[in-house]
Structure 1
Amino acid sequence: MEKLCVIFGAGDVFAPRKKFGKTDLIIAADGGYSAAVAAGLNPDVIIGDFDSSDAPENTAAHVIKLNRDKDDTDMLAAVKLGLRRGYKTFVIYGGTGGDRLDHTVANFGALAYLNAFGAQGYLVDRDAIATVITDGKFAVPKQARGTVSVFAYGGVASGVNLENLQYSLTNAELTPEYPIGVSNATGDKAGVVSVKSGSLLIFFPR
């Protein structure tokens, strides 16, 4: 079974719908510690600059305190930690919503960062999950039913194909300024999204 790096942020957290295994790494990014505990999980690592919350005490987790004057967000620092430990699949809770829209946008960047290092990330919101693919293919889970949206991310995306969705595209070019891929929908068969050159930000039903 594929091992997961599960990260909790301080945004809106919607309870995980699965149990995690012994080989999965659970990281709390700063204020995400409270969310992880509320979900009944004991983080393996807590990392952050603790500018919005105090560093937890009386915890068995490894606590990493970061300098507050830094380039990386606490979430990106958690992502980098998971990569250093060899994880290739990341699930992020609490990385959307809250009172910081800019942090949500930054976490889309974290998904693209994972792509750059050969990993895949999934950012979990209440009703949808976001992921980024680069020069590759993504199969919408068979059980997912509802809205699927696809956007060019970080520049022009060429050779885009949308298959088995309500609206199809073949060898299309998507640009960031024209969101033609918004508000598509799943069909009777599992949808497939692919891009030959560039990156796509994909939202699919949780």
Structure 2
Amino acid sequence: MNGCIVHSGLGVTLLGAGEVNAASVTEVLTIAPCLVAADGGADRALALGLEPEAVLGDLDSISPAARAAIAPGRLHRIAEQEGTDFDKCLAHVEAPFFLALGFGGGRLDHTLAAMATLARHPGRRLVWVGGEDVAFLAPPVLALDLIPGTRVSLFPMGRVRGRAEGLRWPLEGADFAPAGRIGTSNEATGAVLLRLDGPMLVLLPLACLSAALAGLGVPLAARGG
């Protein structure tokens, strides 16, 4: 990758400055053990007793105390303003997959920006982890091993058409769009198979993180633990 700052053979946890649950961070790090902080996420990491492998971003949010506590060689200022710090991390870190925490969940504009980042990086195995949900951009064909009754929400980030097996309410014949039809609060009747033509976010309960990673093709060998 051009401009690669961090290269990991295992998954990378990206930590933003938003509110996170300490237990969730601990659990996610067992799956994606390489920790990279996005700007002010460095303060969040230090507050949890963690030192990130690297801090990336425009570094306008990291506190002086955190800047002093982290080795200078781990601080990487990326000045361009075309993307968010979340985008900058994805542009300069190479890993088999990413789990992202602390990007939204509080301020709605931050959460929307994080969802836009998911849609802008279709080539990444990237899962956003919130307090109750996980979210990711679906590949054109997605298989999910879910138990009946699992909530499956679909949100289009552009025009989308698709077909589905294993959902209570079918997708066939519908044109999805952000300001048109959406697919939130659907429900699995068992294993789910989606075939999608267009950018669709999938939102599942937090307990389905492993199912999401498997659906994105993340091999067990790439996961920590």
TM norm structure 1: 0.80
CA distance in 2, matches of 1:190, 1:63: 43
Please point out which of 128, 131, 146 is paired with 1:126: 131
> Unmatched 5+ residue regions in structure 1?
none
2:85 is aligned to 74
> CA 1:142–1:183 in 2, change beyond 3 Å: closer, same or farther?
closer
Letter in 2 for 1:150: L
Question: Is contact 2:13-2:28 (8 Å) kept?
Answer: no
CA distance in 2, matches of 1:40, 1:143: 36
Question: Is contact 2:146-2:188 (8 Å) kept?
Answer: no
Structure ranking higher in strand proportion: 1
TM norm structure 2: 0.74
2:70 is aligned to 59
1:174 is aligned to 176
CA distance in 2, matches of 1:31, 1:141: 36
Q: 2:119 matched to 1:112?
A: yes
CA distance in 2, matches of 1:40, 1:161: 45
Question: Is contact 2:146-2:191 (8 Å) kept?
Answer: yes
Superposed displacement of residue 39, structure 1: 4.3
Q: What is the root-mean-square deviation in Å for CA atoms of aligned residues?
A: 2.6
> CA 1:143–1:29 in 2, change beyond 3 Å: closer, same or farther?
farther
CA distance in 1, matches of 2:14, 2:202: 19
> CA 1:7–1:145 in 2, change beyond 3 Å: closer, same or farther?
farther
Number of residues of Structure 1 aligned to a counterpart in Structure 2: 192
> CA 1:18–1:176 in 2, change beyond 3 Å: closer, same or farther?
closer
Runs (4+) off by over 6 Å: none
Structure ranking higher in helix proportion: 2
> Unmatched 5+ residue regions in structure 2?
1-8, 207-225
Q: What are the residue-to-residue correspondences of 1:118-197 with 2, within 5 Å? A: 118-134=123-139, 136-142=140-146, 146-153=150-157, 155-158=158-161, 160-170=162-172, 172-187=174-189, 189-195=190-196, 197=197
Same amino acid, percent of matched pairs: 28
Residue aligned with 1:173, SS:
coil
Letter in 2 for 1:152: P
CA distance in 2, matches of 1:18, 1:176: 30
Superposed displacement of residue 202, structure 1: 1.2
